Amino acid sequence: MTYVVTDNCIACKYTDCVEVCPVDCFYEGENMLVIHPDECIDCGVCEPECPADAIRPDTEPDMEKWVEFNRDYSEKWPVIITKKDPLPDAEAKDGESGKLEKYFSEAPGEGG
């Protein structure tokens, strides 16, 4: 099992999760985070820390696409280990549907 970040992180990018991760497996894009599924040790400490409920175990239905999505972008984006402020419209966009199609950016974040 591994944990993955899903589309509810897009346009929110809360980083509460990165501080609790014991193996630093989060990677930062311009407007979301991902988890490298091969680095995740399945401890689960990040899941309850996410205010947007965007972190899910890969054992839930239809998570295969998110495992691959997370793997792909974790190999392109820089690692993030420090908590940062969420994006300006995070509260307004939390829970919005269709965020992948509307807002997703392939650009890397700053990391750090």
Question: Which tokens hold the place of 5?
Answer: 């970040």
Domain ranges across the chain? 3-86
- Confidence class of residue 1 from pLDDT cuts 50, 70 and 90? confident
* pLDDT of 25 higher than 90: yes
Query: Taking a C-beta distance cutoff of 8 angstroms, is the pair 93, 11 a contact?
Result: yes
**In CATH, what number does 3-86 get?**
3.30.70.20
Quick: pLDDT tens for 72-108: 999 999 999 999 999 999 999 999 999 999 999 999 9
Phi, psi of 5 (to 5 degrees): -95, 135
Burial class (CB in 10 A: 0-12, 13-18, 19+), 60: exposed
